[in-house]
Amino acid sequence: MAMSFFEHNGNKHYYELLGSGKPLLLLHGLCADNMTWLPVKRALAERYRLVIPDNRLSGKSVFAALPESVDDLADDAKALLDSLKLSKVVVVGHSMGGYVAQAFALRYPDSVSALV
């Protein structure tokens, strides 16, 4: 499992990469971090390439600017995918991550192969 950071709009975002195959972007809920996916990530990684970020204000991410909306978090996710050179992913959201996933799909429809 690769654990890394990327910078976007003055924020330092933590993310993990795990597995191989079709890429899945896993977006966690409010008051959580990427550990939300701990119970399922090993099983998912057997079939998919997982991209698991911590949102601003959560986990190991370091923020300089607060998000003003789920659109900001969707933009952060797109910046992460761009930095990884991933053009089309399955976007999976849990709780508030579902709102972020929906915003991502609306803002970047060409980057979404499926929305869960």
pLDDT in tens, 39-59: 999 999 999 999 999 988 777
- DSSP secondary-structure letter at 7? E
Distance set, CA 100 to CA 6, 7, 14, 79 (Å): 19, 19, 17, 14
Q: Provide the token pair at 39.
A: 């119970």
Proportion of the chain above pLDDT 70, given as a percent = 95
Q: Give 63 or 85, the one with higher predicted confidence.
A: 85
DSSP state for residue 36 in the 8-state scheme? G
pLDDT of the residue at 56 = 80
The SS3 call for residue 77 is helix
Residue with tokens 């909306």: 69
Token duo for residue 63: 């923020």
Residues 85-113 have pLDDT tens digits of: 999 999 999 999 999 999 999 999 999 99
- Report in angstroms the alpha-carbon separations of 50 from 24, 42, 63, 65, 66: 5, 10, 23, 26, 26
**Non-local CB neighbours of 32 within 8 Å, separated by 6+ positions:** 58, 94, 95
CB 30 within 8 A of CB 57: no
Q: What integer pLDDT is reported at residue 2 of this predicted model?
A: 67
